[in-house]
Structure 1
Amino acid sequence: MENLHEAVGKLFDVVFWVNVNPDGNVREVQEILVRQLNLKADEQNNDQRAEMISEELKNKRYVLFFDGVSSEINLEEVGICEEHEARKVVFACRDRNICWQTDVDINIRRLSDEDAGKLFWKIVGVHLKENRNIKPIARLIINECGGMPNMVKIIGASLKNVNDPAIWRSFLSQLRSPSGEQRQELEDFYRVFKLECDKLGDEKKLCLLYWAVFRAGYEVPRDYIIECWRAEQFLVGLQTLGEARDRGHAILDELVKKALLEKGSKWAHYKMYQHFQRAALRIANCRENRVRILVKEREKIREEEWESADRISLISSCQLIFPESPKCCRILALFVQECSLAEFPSSFFSYMNGLQLLDLHDTNIKSLPSSISSLVNLNVLFLNRCSQLTHLPVEIGGLQRLEILDLCHSGFHSLPAQIGQLTNLKCLRVSFIENFENHNHVDSGPKEMIATNIIARLQSLEELSIYVNPASRRWIQNAESIAEEIATLEELRTLSFYFPSVDCLQTFVNKSKSWNGNDTLWRGNSFRSFSIDVGYQRRSSPPVKLIDSKCKCTAEKHLRFSAGEGFPDAVAKILEEACALELIGNNVVNISCLSTADKLGGLEACVIEECGEMTSIIDGDLAGGPAFQQLNELHLLSLPKLVHIWNGPIDSKSLTMLTTLTLKGCHCLKALVSEAMALRLNQLQFLQVEDCRVIEEIFETGIIVESGAFPKLKNLQLINLPRLSNICSEVTPLDWPSLETIMIRACEELRNFPSTFSNAARLRKIKCTERWWNNLAWANDNVRNHLEGVKEFLS
């Protein structure tokens, strides 16, 4: 279902994913739909919400995924109606009998004994398979896995390359030993999880069991979970946030490799298999010498539970009635997020002087009580996505242990002055509300977004992220003075900032103590990561999303340069360090000058958009060396004079790592790939060409392309190309060994399509219109029969 969810995004207007709670609560399902549809429904009852949802969706194509269904959900009560003709509903459940009538049933079975064995030996090492002392024990261990892939992966990883039969026997004995707990469903999972958990060191074990504070199936952002670990002092001996993040990355990577965690559907998100998550909560609450975790989703918290719990999780909780002043001196972390909470009792925090982490993100909180001054040990405070929160109490300035403060996407028009008192702050993230309609509109709110000498007082800052609308006049007037204060921060290692002009950027580059530091750990300067925007130009199309679950680009260093002429020195210096570049509205003819100065070699992703004079991206005769040696993604959008992607000779190191290439709105391009380019694109997996009016062929006429070209290409999309008549020469048909999916739309002249792709053995789907399909020229019936079975007509 996750694979399907990932594949259908472009076919629907809206895609919903709902992790269903055991009781199938209609209100909770509505909450997810309302939030994604941006509906204002806080005061509405379930019936009113259902009407709003139904009305919003009636003319949309949408698909709704339900995961973990354990009881029937009344779709009509949610707002999903039979009258919605362009809807699809997909659900996963353990018991077929509890679900409603479906069009298609897919029964997902456990692995067969044979397949479980193949997977096991692939992980353990096939060289051990015929060891006569290990083989009989392995057979028993595989049987213990019960055909469940997760258990096979976990156990296999634990025994990888282990050739001592005694260790195998001991492992089997531990696996079969009683847990000491009352037997529950999937007790085998609990035993395996506990066995693997006990093998971890204290640090990793604490990090793993921390997943117990989240509900089953909850996807957790990478940076967020690392900040939680740091707040609770799991990552010991690390002085800086950068060191903590690197250590956290390594721990997450190891836990994924051990199959104790898995990567989520979003980029840089992680989740725990739901039965393991329940096991983590059980283990955490059974340990006598550690803290107790209380997770509530629907039940009210009794007063004695407030007093005894060390961590309380109320994520998406429906019933939030707080006591006036709970006696919870032991509490270390409180999660109250993604709910309708509007206020706390005035003395609520009075006895929470040990609290280290407070997460209130995505709530309707309007203010914080003065008792927040009691949180003298608070390390992390999340107030992001609190749209009703417009100010902070003066007492916030007394939280001298606070290291991380997130105010993004909340209701602030300016940075509260008391933030300047938080001299131990290491990470500040903030965004500002702006009311404007155009450039000439006078912005409402305080004159200055950030008053003088607030940022300059925060000399411990290592990470600073300020998000603004680039059309804000207040920001344009305030940005240079803020940039000068940021330049005084010696410890700064991460920066997200919008510089309205090149001059503003130049001031920062010249004066910044951190940018010009001599930290030998980082190449060139002391910055660990950055997201720097320079200049502003309204785009005619939505920005390209560089980071997704399939992209290898880390984009820890991202430069967006809009408008302008050429590449001023300050921009060139930033580009030397960048992993991702977005070049928008520039007047350059090509960017070969950057290749000559070796400023493109480290790029992993590049977007070039609305550069009206650009005729080629790189001119090989001017480049004087390789370019784009590390590039994974290249997106070329609205380049009306582009004739070549790469003109002239190409260095053997250039483009060899490119996996994604998209072109859209390039109306002078007649052929996409030259012979020299074809020899370099051995890693290309995704190719999209759209709305290019004069393109006639993918490969230039006359070039000889080896049959093994494009060995990794999986997905090809050709859309609205009215003159496209040829993919490649018919002299040497390509094998297309990896091609799985093709989309053809509005390419009426491309009639020799069947013979071009007759050798594509792994082709699984051809998306096209019925009219186009009926006009194709078929070489023979064998080709037609082969391709008929994989066609899918577009509406």
Structure 2
Amino acid sequence: MVEAAVIGAVASAAAVEAYKDGRMTFSYIKEQLNIAKKMDSSYRNLESEVKKLRARRDDIQAEIDKDLRLVATKECEVWIGKVKEVEKAFSELEARYQKEKRKAGWKLRLRSRLKITDKLEVLCQDIQNLLGEGKFEKVVVERIPECVRIIHAPNLKGTPTLQTIVGDILDFLRDEGINRIGLWGMVGTGKSTIMQNLNDNEDIGKMFDIVILVTVSKEWSVEKIQQTIIQRLKLNVEGITCMNEIAWRISEELKKKKYLLLLDEVCDTVDLHLVGVRNCEKNSKVVLATRYRHVCYLMNTDEEIQVERLPDADAWNLFQEKVGRYINLPGVKPVAQLVAKECAGVPLLLDRVARTFRKKDNIHLWRGGLKKLKRWPSVRIPEIDEMLELLRFCYEELDGNDKKKCFLYGALYPEECDIYIDHLLECWRAEDFIDTSANLREAHDSGHTILDDLISVSLLEKGQKMGYIKMNKVIRSVALKISRQSKDTKVFVKTCEGLSEPPNEEQWREATRVSLMDNRLSCLPENPPCSKLLTLFLQRNPDLGRIHELFFQSMKMLRVLDLGDTRIASLPSSLSCLTSLRALYLKGCVNLMEFPSDIKELKNLEILDIRCTGFHNFPIQIGGLICLKCLRLSLSSFDKRSNVPKQIRNVKAICDVISRLFSLEELTIEVESCMWWSEAGKAVAEKVATLTNLTNLNFCFPTANCLAAFLGGGSSWNRDEFVFQFFVGDHQSTQLHIHKYFEYPVHQYLRYANGDGVDHYIIEVLGKTYAFELIGLKGVSKISDFGINSMKNIRCCIIKNCNELTTLVDGTITNDSMLPCVEKIFLCNLPYLVSIWEGPTHMGSLSQLATLTFHSCQKLKKIFSRSMIQQLNHLQYLIVENCSEIEEIIMEAENDMLESCALPKLKALTLVDLPLLKSIWVDGSLEWPSLDRLKVHKCGKLLMLPFTKDNANKLRSIEGEEAWWRALIWKDNAVQERLHPICAFV
């Protein structure tokens, strides 16, 4: 019973416990189910709120995207950022929720679900709060302008010339002293490409707060330019119509920014003050691109860069790039090179022609295309007619018919040839394009003004040689087309084509101007019908030996005749029919022995050039040309030493003729080293001095006494406008070698050769001299002995073979500035020169010196004396060659207090054959802010360069031997790594 009772009690207790356990299990399961339901409910609530949030976000984003000119408010941007964070949190929480849902069985962790539920509820509350925050009064505002609006400019990789210009402009933009930069050049040379590359340049984006590119169209106006700037600045000027008020708004906005304004295709002067671009504050800049140089000047640019045609290598690279794969077809490349050459280095034309030829997939099409291209513009080629119209527009914009005629006249010369400016201007005057009532000097000045205007609008360009200009083949083609379409004038031009036959009768009849220069003509028609002919160019036909007696009979209107460098032995009698002739050129007619007796019938002849002809006796017939204003002759063929009486007769004839030419304004008498001239020169000089209208004289004075005879013999020399080229002393030639050194027209030029001591008359001429050449001087140790005041106007100085010269200037003789205007000094073969300056360098001395050259000065030890270097703020080129004693370019002992900004404009340093040179400068303390090129050759002891990581930032080229480069010692390897890529080994 007891056991039964115990068992019953135990069973009862067990039942109670089991009941309790069952209740607990049931409660646990129930609680799990409730938590699961709550988690699901919380998730569904959260999911619903997320949908609402996303819908609100999408509505707001649609409002933002509706107008690209508007941008979200800062408040709205922050809210959208919070939405992104919430979405990320929801995604993470949703993943945890789904994972929890997938767990099986009853052994689920209550704590885990509770945590998820809590997070769901918290996130739901956050979203509800965010929905409340998302009720904005203003969703968008006007977009703040971006710093740079990238326009994906054409790549300049294949055109280093244009890359260099971009680099130069970047350098100017970094210069705080430069605010406005002008870019000018002919149509199609790549100005717009440069401007677009500036806009996209990464460095530009770092330098400025905003870059504004404005294309100024032909129909430009201040209002249109303002509108472009307003749009770029995102200015609200709605309802404002007053141009001045808009300008003020622009000005006020720009004051807040460091800006770069790029003005492309500027056709005329733009008053930026009226636009609202008033002061370049915060180092802001303006760059303008124009076809016309004068626009740069009128818009007060601080620097101007001419964009010239591409060199052949760049043009070929660009053409290949534009054509693409067909350039590599068999046989195409040689033809393609000829096609590219026809484009004359003009990028726009290269692009248009390349577009045409990239469609040609065989050699036959290429050859046909080249043939057609050579006939342009007489044959229409639609792809490049744009170029023709642009150039025609430049022509039409020329003010005045005379200027247009002057431009068209340039097409008479061969394509791409250098045209001698004096010849061109004289022809213009002879054709009445410039004032014929003025004297030659005034007419020359007027002609230069027109010439400068034509260069300024890029219709002409400067030639390779000093005193020459050229017309590129594209512009020449346009000029010829315009001339041929003219009703008033007809031209017949066949130059450099190897012609052996002259034009036919019909071509002569219609022509007003005929140019057949540089051909192989051996004969001319007997009596061509050309009553309208004004200009006839036959020069440089070396096979032309005879002209028929009646050839000129119908040319009564002819104004200009050039027979230079032909083999004619005589002039026909019909020359006397040329009663309207004003300019006659016979230079280089070495077989021409005499003039016809009736040359005096040329009553209107003003220009006569008979240099290098075959005359053995002076042509006294010249004395009958009473209107002659300019005479050029050479006396080399008169040197018959075995017949002295003949030379005396020649001298008397020269003097007699000169005395009769009372209208003469310009006279050139070239003389080689002739014994008879030493005596005759004085008599001729005295007679020349009596010419009262003379304003231009090119003359060889065999001695200083002969010069004295001229200076004291008349009033011409004392005129302010008197122009001279004087050769004093024993000369081997009167050719102007100074053109190799000096790029300006050489007026007021003196060459003094093989003199002895300081001569008073040389000092007098020096006072008016701009370019001075001193050769073989004896008895003088320094040129300052000629007098400091007499050398104040010198701009170029060349000194050669003066064996007693030890220095140029002694600074102790005066307290005034010395050589204040000199721009170039060339010192050659001066065996005892030890310095160029001794003593103090007074303020203003050498202040304009840009080029300094030493060659074969074997005793030279120092270049820059104490204090001298501080005056050289304009020095750009320093060349030191074959000077065996030079150890330092800038001597430390002479310049121990040298400022870091010394030589601020030095661009190029050339050091050649200096065996003892050890140093350019002792350390890296100089800035070298403008140095662009360094050339070192045969300088084996120069083992260190004065460069650091921070100086010489514009250095782009180091030329030298590879062995020299490897031997250099570097204090910092980073400097070597920086400079190695710009090395070119020779």
TM-score range, shorter chain: 0.7 to 0.9
SS of alignment partner, residue 699 of structure 1: coil
- Contact 1:566–1:588, Cα closer than 8 Å, also in 2: yes
Q: 1:210 to 1:766 in 2, by over 3 A?
A: same
SS of alignment partner, residue 246 of structure 1: helix
Q: 1:273 to 1:152 in 2, by over 3 A?
A: farther
Shift of 1:316: 1.8
Q: 1:690 to 1:281 in 2, by over 3 A?
A: same
Shift of 1:415: 2.9
Shift of 1:538: 6.7
**In the alignment, what sits opposite 1:466?**
669
Does 2:291 correspond to 1:291?
no
**In the alignment, what sits opposite 2:291?**
154
Shift of 1:653: 0.9
SS of alignment partner, residue 427 of structure 2: helix
Q: For residues 325-359 of structure 1, give each alpha carbon's deviation from its aligned partner in whole angstroms, at most 9, with x where no partner exists.
A: 11211111101122222221221111111110001
**In the alignment, what sits opposite 2:154?**
none
Opposite residue 344 of structure 1, the aligned amino acid is I
Q: 1:232 to 1:761 in 2, by over 3 A?
A: same
Q: For residues 663-694 of structure 1, give each alpha carbon's deviation from its aligned partner in whole angstroms, at most 9, with x where no partner exists.
A: 12222221111231111111111111122221
**In the alignment, what sits opposite 1:782?**
974
Does 2:420 correspond to 1:217?
no
Distance 2:735 2:971 in 1: 42
Q: 1:571 to 1:595 in 2, by over 3 A?
A: closer
Q: 1:205 to 1:134 in 2, by over 3 A?
A: farther
Q: Identify which range, 335-344 or 182-191, moves more after superposition.
A: 182-191
**In the alignment, what sits opposite 1:750?**
942
**In the alignment, what sits opposite 1:271?**
470
Equivalent residues, number: 652
SS of alignment partner, residue 358 of structure 1: strand
Q: 1:214 to 1:721 in 2, by over 3 A?
A: same
Distance 2:641 2:935 in 1: 44
**In the alignment, what sits opposite 2:36?**
none
Distance 1:611 1:634 in 2: 15
**In the alignment, what sits opposite 2:881?**
690
Shift of 1:744: 1.7
Q: 1:695 to 1:133 in 2, by over 3 A?
A: closer
Q: 1:445 to 1:705 in 2, by over 3 A?
A: farther
Q: 1:538 to 1:743 in 2, by over 3 A?
A: farther
1:375 to 546, 554, 578: 578
Opposite residue 476 of structure 2, the aligned amino acid is Q
Q: 1:663 to 1:203 in 2, by over 3 A?
A: same
Q: For residues 603-644 of structure 1, give each alpha carbon's deviation from its aligned partner in whole angstroms, at most 9, with x where no partner exists.
A: 110112222222221111113411111111111122222222
Does 2:695 correspond to 1:493?
yes
**In the alignment, what sits opposite 2:526?**
324
- Contact 1:442–1:473, Cα closer than 8 Å, also in 2: no
Q: For residues 111-140 of structure 1, give each alpha carbon's deviation from its aligned partner in whole angstroms, at most 9, with x where no partner exists.
A: 37825999986999999884217999x999
Does 2:248 correspond to 1:248?
no
- Contact 1:727–1:756, Cα closer than 8 Å, also in 2: no
2:227 to 115, 118, 132: 132
Distance 2:159 2:441 in 1: 32
SS of alignment partner, residue 567 of structure 1: coil
Opposite residue 717 of structure 2, the aligned amino acid is W
- Contact 2:587–2:610, Cα closer than 8 Å, also in 1: yes
SS of alignment partner, residue 716 of structure 2: coil
Distance 2:221 2:782 in 1: 52
**In the alignment, what sits opposite 1:349?**
552
SS of alignment partner, residue 724 of structure 1: coil
Q: For residues 281-338 of structure 1, give each alpha carbon's deviation from its aligned partner in whole angstroms, at most 9, with x where no partner exists.
A: 22223232x2211112446411011111111111223455421111211111101122
- Contact 1:556–1:579, Cα closer than 8 Å, also in 2: yes
Does 2:193 correspond to 1:111?
yes
SS of alignment partner, residue 644 of structure 1: coil
Shift of 1:594: 3.7
**In the alignment, what sits opposite 1:547?**
739
Shift of 1:269: 1.6
CA RMSD of aligned residues (A): 3.8
2:715 to 513, 523, 533: 513
Shift of 1:265: 1.6
Does 2:842 correspond to 1:705?
no
**In the alignment, what sits opposite 1:83?**
none
Distance 2:194 2:932 in 1: 27
Does 2:722 correspond to 1:722?
no
- Structure 2: unaligned runs, 5 residues or longer: 1-157, 165-187, 200-211, 232-260, 268-287, 300-376
SS of alignment partner, residue 647 of structure 2: coil
Distance 2:297 2:930 in 1: 30
Shift of 1:184: 4.3
SS of alignment partner, residue 717 of structure 2: coil
Shift of 1:3: 11
Opposite residue 131 of structure 1, the aligned amino acid is Q
- Contact 2:266–2:290, Cα closer than 8 Å, also in 1: no
Shift of 1:225: 0.9
Distance 1:758 1:770 in 2: 24
Give 1:30-45 correspondences, 5 Å limit.
Answer: none
TM-score for the superposition, normalised by structure 1: 0.75
Q: For residues 548-594 of structure 1, give each alpha carbon's deviation from its aligned partner in whole angstroms, at most 9, with x where no partner exists.
A: 5x845443100111232333222111111110111222221223344
Q: For residues 157-182 of structure 1, give each alpha carbon's deviation from its aligned partner in whole angstroms, at most 9, with x where no partner exists.
A: 789989xxxxxxxxxxxxxxxxx998
Opposite residue 686 of structure 2, the aligned amino acid is E
Shift of 1:445: 11
- Structure 1: unaligned runs, 5 residues or longer: 8-93, 95-106, 145-150, 163-179
Distance 1:181 1:157 in 2: 32
- Contact 2:528–2:551, Cα closer than 8 Å, also in 1: yes
Distance 1:571 1:159 in 2: 42
Q: 1:123 to 1:274 in 2, by over 3 A?
A: farther
- Contact 2:921–2:946, Cα closer than 8 Å, also in 1: no
**In the alignment, what sits opposite 1:31?**
none
Does 2:396 correspond to 1:198?
yes
Q: 1:544 to 1:476 in 2, by over 3 A?
A: closer
Distance 2:805 2:296 in 1: 57
1:589 to 781, 791, 803: 781
Does 2:755 correspond to 1:561?
no
Distance 1:134 1:193 in 2: 29
Does 2:674 correspond to 1:475?
no
Distance 1:722 1:589 in 2: 26
**In the alignment, what sits opposite 2:612?**
409
Opposite residue 239 of structure 1, the aligned amino acid is A
Opposite residue 712 of structure 1, the aligned amino acid is K
Distance 2:566 2:160 in 1: 31
Distance 1:250 1:479 in 2: 36
Bigger-Rg structure (1/2): 2
Q: 1:120 to 1:561 in 2, by over 3 A?
A: farther
**In the alignment, what sits opposite 1:29?**
none
Give 1:726-745 correspondences, 5 Å limit.
Answer: 726-730=919-923, 732-745=924-937
- Contact 2:606–2:630, Cα closer than 8 Å, also in 1: yes
Shift of 1:426: 0.6
When you count helix as a share of all residues, which structure comes out higher?
2
Q: Identify which range, 365-374 or 653-662, moves more after superposition.
A: 365-374
Shift of 1:444: 9.9
Q: 1:496 to 1:159 in 2, by over 3 A?
A: closer
Distance 2:888 2:776 in 1: 27
Does 2:751 correspond to 1:531?
no
Distance 2:750 2:807 in 1: 21
Q: For residues 682-717 of structure 1, give each alpha carbon's deviation from its aligned partner in whole angstroms, at most 9, with x where no partner exists.
A: 111111112222111111223232222222222211
Give 1:5-154 correspondences, 5 Å limit.
Answer: 111=193, 114-115=196-197, 130-132=225-227, 153-154=290-291
Q: 1:156 to 1:653 in 2, by over 3 A?
A: closer
Distance 2:732 2:387 in 1: 53
SS of alignment partner, residue 556 of structure 2: coil
TM-score for the superposition, normalised by structure 2: 0.61
Q: 1:626 to 1:461 in 2, by over 3 A?
A: same
Distance 1:207 1:222 in 2: 12
Shift of 1:152: 7.0
Q: 1:767 to 1:334 in 2, by over 3 A?
A: same
**In the alignment, what sits opposite 2:811?**
620
